[in-house]
């Protein structure tokens, strides 16, 4: 079991909610009472209160086909209508939906009325391109308003989006397009990142050039360049977004779709080389996104300015940039670029400029700000902030305390939220008006959610014990499957523990500890999934990318702890003997690292790569990653008695020490 950060040291400090905050908070004790009195009624009530149902549901949960769940299944709704039209109809059309800021400093303010109109046009455009209910649309866009518009337009017509993070390579994009059999790709010419244009359309071209494809059209948003002279253009396939939306009506009536209509597929790394297409549907997902966004962030839509720094290419961007905030009618900041362009105070400048009151970001970002020093945020007025959130990886108590003290002026509640692509929405988190928070702990399952820490047999551990995080009861935002692979869905998530009378138990892949008060502390992944800067990467996927290189005979990848990014990718590679001479030339390790970045995306580039003669294996041939992790983290090497050849580790560790001191 890997523990990327020793996250178990309870800090002496605890922070009760400020009295003023508690008195006005959205979430009160009544929530937990209602949930424990009747959990399904609780969810039915939340859903009816938070959403508009074109046709009300009569059944809350159908778990008879477990682990394939159906929530609110006989109800009908339109997800985009819930995020847009109803706010305009309620008289809030002039409220700002998006305060968008481009990296070069260009801005756009988009009201709910404008966003609704843009989505209606885009929905008409998609329909005119032949896209309808159930069709898959790949979205490969930067953080620009059109990303939000595209997702909502797809949702509005009952189609299914598959957003691919703009940092993924053309190969990764192609694999996702093929798996989902997307008919349309929506992209941009490029995006601004670190003061330069990162081209996107060329990656789409490369992806589609790799053999016959299901993609019929490519819609291109003009973001980076004033003309198309830098772009390859395939007539009949490629269309400018701005030309096409200008030709369609901005009137569009949102039709209701069944609650279980698929809403999106989002690919995430698993323990094999092949990413999994996590499938989410409409009514249950939107209920949980809206409920958690409202209560965990204590949202007051009339007055708050909310900012979630995640990219729409990740689940956090889906649930807490697009669906949760917009369903709740929030005003939010959307920022295209990186935190340090054009200067290292850019985020704090944006908080001051837009008077951001609720901030949601990742521990990696917090740790890199800590490193840069408190003087930088100290130059800006951050007094508008009233709540801070953290997500994506365990937050160490030092980072938690710095976040609260330096960014939150020792005044704002901090909520550490645990969840996953698969859970759709937040599962474990303090409620800011109720919970006395502990730095470094996600603490309590939200009202309506059941999460336990169990041993390997699935039995709950006592307070003070450690084990695995498990979810024994279905929840509305849960994944409904892995696209095209029901067997993998059952095997990956529902087969680790014995089923209970109530049905199968979900395995999250995380280790966790319960402290003596019964609060939950997350300890990191227990499988071969790494968490680098809050992004999930699979050791197997990077290994298969390395062995695809003609020089590489074998590769082993581990996640080693890293002060800033939580974990970092460290690779050990054996070169084929006939390429030993090529590889002896300088720059080999760099070119292999670049190969991974090019195949998967820059986030997967190994921090370090070591050429070795052998890998530590058990007698049955299984690579012992635990030992490699010991080496990569500079620890004494653990028990090697099960190794087929005990001398291997000595050689590797000598090589490692030599290179580190070189």
Residues that bind ligand PRX (CB under 6 A): 268, 315-316, 391-394, 416-421, 442, 508-510, 522, 525, 531, 536
618 secondary structure, DSSP code: B
Residue closer to ligand PRX by CB (options 150, 399) is: 399
From CA 524, how far away is CA 246, in angstroms rounded?
48
Q: How far is the CB of 414 from ligand PRX (least distance, A)?
A: 11
Please state whether the peptide bond connecting residue 410 to the residue before it is cis, i.e. omega within 30 degrees of 0. no
Residue closer to ligand PRX by CB (options 190, 472) is: 472
Contacts of 98 (CB under 8 A, 6+ apart): 108, 109, 110, 115, 145, 148, 332, 333, 334
- Contact (Cβ atoms closer than 8 angstroms) between residue 656 and residue 573: no
Neighbours of 534 (CB within 10 A): 19
Residue closer to ligand PRX by CB (options 442, 569) is: 442
From CA 282, how far away is CA 261, in angstroms rounded?
6
B/e letters for 580-589, b = 16+ CB within 10 Å, e = fewer, are eeebeeeebb
Contacts of 544 (CB under 8 A, 6+ apart): 273
Q: How far is the CB of 461 from ligand PRX (least distance, A)?
A: 18
Residue closer to ligand PRX by CB (options 268, 492) is: 268
From CA 496, how far away is CA 501, in angstroms rounded?
16
Place of tokens 């996590």: 278
Beta-bridged to residue 521, according to DSSP, are 513
Residue closer to ligand PRX by CB (options 323, 418) is: 418
- Contact (Cβ atoms closer than 8 angstroms) between residue 199 and residue 191: no
Q: How far is the CB of 22 from ligand PRX (least distance, A)?
A: 22
Residue closer to ligand PRX by CB (options 99, 480) is: 480
Q: How far is the CB of 313 from ligand PRX (least distance, A)?
A: 11
Residue closer to ligand PRX by CB (options 510, 541) is: 510
From CA 316, how far away is CA 425, in angstroms rounded?
8
Nearest alpha carbon to residue 599 among 173, 293, 28:
173
* Exposed/middle/buried for residue 653 (C-beta within 10 Å: 0-12, 13-18, 19+): middle
464: Cα within 13 Å, side-chain hemisphere:
2
From CA 468, how far away is CA 453, in angstroms rounded?
5
Residue closer to ligand PRX by CB (options 222, 287) is: 287
Residue closer to ligand PRX by CB (options 259, 296) is: 296
CA-only gyration radius of the chain, Å: 24
Neighbours of 38 (CB within 10 A): 12
Task: Provide φ and ψ at 216, rounded to 5°.
Answer: -100, -40
Q: How far is the CB of 141 from ligand PRX (least distance, A)?
A: 19
Residue closer to ligand PRX by CB (options 76, 311) is: 311
**Ramachandran sector of residue 401 (left: φ over 0; alpha: ψ -120 to 50; beta: rest):** alpha
Q: How far is the CB of 84 from ligand PRX (least distance, A)?
A: 25
From CA 217, how far away is CA 177, in angstroms rounded?
13
Beta-bridged to residue 268, according to DSSP, are 276
Q: How far is the CB of 315 from ligand PRX (least distance, A)?
A: 5
3-state secondary structure of 354: helix
Residue closer to ligand PRX by CB (options 288, 421) is: 421
From CA 320, how far away is CA 418, in angstroms rounded?
13
Q: How far is the CB of 420 from ligand PRX (least distance, A)?
A: 4
Nearest alpha carbon to residue 120 among 255, 267, 219, 216:
255
3-state secondary structure of 62: strand
Residue 324 is encoded by which pair of tokens? 């949760």
Residue closer to ligand PRX by CB (options 57, 297) is: 297
Q: How far is the CB of 128 from ligand PRX (least distance, A)?
A: 35
Residue closer to ligand PRX by CB (options 86, 367) is: 367
Please state whether the peptide bond connecting residue 342 to the residue before it is cis, i.e. omega within 30 degrees of 0. yes
Q: How far is the CB of 90 from ligand PRX (least distance, A)?
A: 30
Q: How far is the CB of 376 from ligand PRX (least distance, A)?
A: 25
Q: How far is the CB of 38 from ligand PRX (least distance, A)?
A: 28
Q: Are strands 70-71 and 76-77 parallel, antiparallel or unpaired?
A: unpaired
Q: How far is the CB of 440 from ligand PRX (least distance, A)?
A: 9
Q: How far is the CB of 523 from ligand PRX (least distance, A)?
A: 8
Residue closer to ligand PRX by CB (options 184, 529) is: 529
Place of tokens 């620890």: 635
Residue closer to ligand PRX by CB (options 142, 509) is: 509
Nearest alpha carbon to residue 524 among 468, 564, 565:
468
| Cα 278–Cα 284–Cα 288 angle in degrees, nearest 5 | 95
Q: How far is the CB of 200 from ligand PRX (least distance, A)?
A: 22
From CA 456, how far away is CA 458, in angstroms rounded?
5
């Amino acid at each position: 079991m890997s523990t990327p950060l020793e996250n178990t040291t309870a800090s002496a400090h605890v922070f009760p909610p400020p009295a003023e905050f508690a008195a006005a908070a959205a979430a009160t004790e009544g929530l937990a009472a209602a949930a424990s009195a009747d959990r399904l009624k609780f969810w039915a009530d939340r859903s009816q209160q938070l959403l508009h149902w074109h046709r009300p549901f009569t059944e809350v949960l159908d778990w008879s086909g477990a682990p394939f769940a159906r929530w609110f299944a006989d109800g009908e709704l339109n997800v985009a209508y819930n995020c847009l039209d109803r706010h305009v109809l309620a008289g809030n059309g002039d409220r700002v939906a998006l305060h968008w800021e481009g990296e070069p400093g260009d801005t756009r303010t988009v009201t709910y009325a404008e966003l609704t109109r843009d989505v209606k046009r885009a929905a008409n455009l998609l329909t005119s391109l032949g896209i309808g209910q159930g069709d898959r649309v790949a979205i490969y866009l930067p953080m620009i308003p059109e990303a939000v518009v595209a997702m909502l337009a797809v949702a509005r017509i009952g189609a299914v989006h598959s957003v691919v993070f703009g940092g993924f390579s053309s190969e990764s994009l192609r694999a996702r397009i093929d798996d989902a059999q997307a008919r349309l790709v929506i992209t941009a010419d490029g995006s601004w990142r670190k003061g330069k244009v990162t081209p996107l359309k060329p990656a789409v071209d490369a992806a589609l050039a790799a053999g016959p494809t299901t993609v019929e059209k490519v819609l291109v948003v003009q973001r980076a360049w004033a003309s198309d002279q830098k772009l390859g253009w395939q007539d009949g396939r490629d269309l400018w977004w701005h030309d096409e939306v200008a030709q369609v009506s901005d009137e569009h009536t949102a039709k209701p779709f069944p609650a279980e209509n698929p809403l999106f597929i989002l690919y995430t790394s698993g323990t094999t080389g092949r990413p999994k297409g996590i499938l989410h549907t409409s009514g249950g997902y939107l209920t949980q996104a809206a409920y958690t966004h409202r209560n965990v962030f204590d949202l007051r839509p009339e007055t708050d300015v909310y900012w979630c720094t995640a990219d729409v290419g990740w689940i956090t961007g889906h649930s807490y940039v697009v669906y949760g905030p917009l369903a709740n009618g929030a005003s939010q900041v959307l920022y295209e670029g990186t935190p340090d362009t054009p200067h290292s105070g850019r985020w704090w400048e944006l908080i001051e400029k837009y008077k951001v009151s609720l901030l949601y970001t990742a521990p990696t970002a917090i740790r890199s700000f800590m490193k840069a020093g408190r003087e930088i945020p100290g130059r800006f007025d951050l007094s508008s902030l009233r709540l801070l959130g953290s997500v994506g990886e365990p937050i160490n108590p030092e980072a938690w305390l710095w976040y609260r003290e330096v960014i939150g002026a020792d005044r704002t509640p901090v909520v550490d939220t645990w969840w996953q692509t698969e859970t759709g929405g937040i599962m474990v988190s303090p409620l800011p008006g109720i919970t006395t928070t502990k730095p470094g702990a996600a603490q309590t399952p939200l009202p309506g959610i059941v999460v336990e820490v169990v041993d390997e047999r699935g039995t709950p551990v006592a307070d003070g014990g450690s084990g695995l995080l498990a979810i024994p009861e279905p929840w509305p935002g849960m994944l409904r499957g892995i696209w095209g692979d029901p067997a993998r869905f059952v095997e990956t998530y529902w087969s680790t523990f014995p089923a209970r009378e109530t049905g199968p138990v979900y395995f999250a892949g995380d280790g966790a500890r319960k402290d003596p008060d019964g609060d939950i502390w997350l300890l990191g992944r227990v499988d071969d999934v790494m968490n680098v800067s809050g992004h999930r990467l699979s050791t197997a996927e990077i290994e298969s990318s390395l062995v695809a290189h003609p020089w590489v005979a074998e590769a082993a990848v581990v996640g080693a702890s890293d002060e800033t990014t939580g974990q970092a990718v460290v690779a050990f590679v054996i070169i084929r003997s006939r390429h030993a001479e090529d590889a002896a030339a300088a720059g080999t390790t760099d070119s292999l690292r670049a190969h991974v970045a090019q195949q998967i995306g820059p986030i997967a580039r190994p921090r370090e790569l070591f050429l070795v003669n052998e890998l530590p294996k058990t007698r049955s041939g299984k690579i012992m990653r635990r030992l490699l992790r010991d080496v990569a983290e500079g620890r004494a090497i653990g028990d090697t008695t099960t190794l087929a050849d005990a001398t291997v580790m000595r050689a590797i560790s000598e090589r490692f020490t030599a290179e580190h001191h070189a």
